[in-house]
């Protein structure tokens, strides 16, 4: 069995209850163990593979995720399109909690992560084009589905990928804003680049879980994040039901 599409779930989406599960599959990879078993099932009449980025019980922090194993195993089982769901902080004034965002650009501030498949036993050096880090066709399908559903979504923005697992300081957020970033997360890289190396069509669906540090008074609490993600992930599930049936031709 092969699958034309996959959903990678992040914080707030460790499982996909709208998926009619067919079976679970655990696979080893040349890069170690993926974050979770592959959950095969049917969503909106299509075969979909779900993978929990942080593990089945959300136990893997962003800097410890085995991004190479995750992307390799999806590619190995036949996935060609990936919707990556992630929780983020809002920097731009219109990026309030609960908003959906479909980034079209990314700035990588991470370090020390295994960020390429092309790092040993090489016959030549490989450089991928990363001018547009997300699949334009897949982004357009997500955007159109959000429009059809009249969801509160931002159709263009720049994602700042931070190291984590701590949240950012207010000064760091001011720096990111000066750099042109609109949302901030911890898992966007190297995931997007690895997908590009494998030739996967990859797009992100971000859910704003909180205002970024310093944007509103007070501390950022996990209770606040979790509360906002409940409503935000319900929107994501509705979006997936709409967009999955039209992805095979994307």
Residue 12, Cβ neighbours under 10 Å: how many? 20
Assess contact for 103 and 157: CB atoms under 8 A: yes
Beta bridge partners of 82: 6, 202
- The pair of structure tokens assigned to 73 is 């195993």
The verdict on whether residue 26 carries a ligand-binding annotation is: no
Phi, psi of 179 (to 5 degrees): -75, -5
Strand residue runs (E) in the chain: 5-9, 20-25, 38-43, 46-52, 81-90, 100-101, 105-108, 153-154, 158-161, 183-185, 201-211
Assess contact for 35 and 74: CB atoms under 8 A: no
The verdict on whether residue 221 carries a ligand-binding annotation is: no
- The pair of structure tokens assigned to 188 is 């966007």
The verdict on whether residue 40 carries a ligand-binding annotation is: no
The verdict on whether residue 193 carries a ligand-binding annotation is: no
| CA triple 196-201-202, angle to 5 deg | 75
The verdict on whether residue 95 carries a ligand-binding annotation is: no
Assess contact for 245 and 45: CB atoms under 8 A: yes
The verdict on whether residue 53 carries a ligand-binding annotation is: yes
CA distance 114 to 171: 27
Please report, in range form, the residues annotated as the binding site for substrate. 186, 210-212
Please report, in range form, the residues annotated as the binding site. 11, 53-54, 186-187, 210-212
Please report, in range form, the residues annotated as the binding site for phosphate. 11, 53-54, 187
């Amino acid at each position: 069995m092969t699958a034309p599409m996959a959903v990678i779930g992040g914080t707030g989406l460790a499982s996909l209850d709208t998926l009619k599960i067919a079976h679970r599959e655990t696979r080893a990879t040349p890069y170690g163990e993926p974050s979770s078993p592959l959950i095969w099932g049917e969503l909106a009449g299509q075969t979909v593979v779900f993978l929990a980025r942080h593990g089945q019980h959300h136990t893997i922090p962003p800097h410890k995720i085995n991004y190479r194993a995750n992307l390799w195993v999806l590619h190995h089982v036949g996935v060609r399109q990936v919707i990556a769901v992630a929780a983020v902080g809002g920097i731009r004034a219109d990026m309030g909690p609960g908003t959906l965002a479909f980034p079209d650009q990314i700035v990588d501030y991470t370090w020390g992560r295994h960020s390429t498949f092309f790092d040993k036993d090489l016959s030549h050096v490989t450089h991928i084009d990363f001018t547009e880090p997300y699949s334009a066709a897949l982004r357009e399908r997500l955007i159109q589905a959000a429009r059809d559903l009249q969801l509160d979504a931002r159709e263009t923005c720049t994602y700042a990928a931070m190291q984590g697992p701590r949240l950012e300081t207010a000064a760091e957020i001011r720096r990111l804003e000066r750099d042109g970033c609109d949302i901030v997360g911890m898992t966007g890289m190297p995931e997007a680049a690895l997908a590009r190396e494998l030739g996967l069509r990859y797009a992100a669906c971000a859910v704003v879980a909180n205002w970024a540090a310093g944007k509103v008074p007070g501390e950022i609490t996990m209770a606040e994040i979790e509360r906002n993600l409940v409503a935000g992930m319900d929107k994501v599930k509705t979006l997936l039901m709409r967009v999955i049936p039209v992805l095979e031709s994307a």
